[in-house]
Amino acid sequence: MKYFSFVVVLLLLAGSAFSADIDGKWSGTITGMDMKVEFIFKADGNTLTGTHIVNGQETAFKDGKIDGNNISFTVKLDMGGQETKIDHKGVISGDQIKMTYDMMGQPGEIILKKVK
């Protein structure tokens, strides 16, 4: 029983340490397009908040989730007076996030690198 408790504590500590790795600025280019995208992420336990930056336009998101090395969040953009929702899902691997998104049924991919 002591061994099980020890393992649980280690897993919780590892999860906390991992969450800290996402904090900060990440940058990449949308695959197949010449459009730079930046994100500023902040982890608080399993909750992910941050800012999405494209063409100098910053949009905050607050509905993000962290599950192990997986993240997900939704960005809502004002596109000519019409709100457009973009769902994002990503997998963190060290200083890289491989992210997919869906904007109005149009999928895409972004590879983000952590900005040092």
- Note the pLDDT tens digit of each residue in 58-92: 999 989 999 999 999 999 988 888 999 999 999 99
Structure tokens of 23? 């904090």
Task: Give the per-residue pLDDT at 19.
Answer: 46
Task: Give the per-residue pLDDT at 34.
Answer: 86
**For the chain, what is the mean pLDDT?**
86
Q: Is residue 107 very low, low, confident or very high in pLDDT (cuts 50, 70, 90)?
A: very high
Rounded Cα gap, residues 49 and 65, in angstroms: 8
2-114 in CATH: which number?
A: 2.40.128.120
Rounded Cα gap, residues 112 and 45, in angstroms: 21
Sketch the domain layout of the chain as residue ranges.
Answer: 2-114
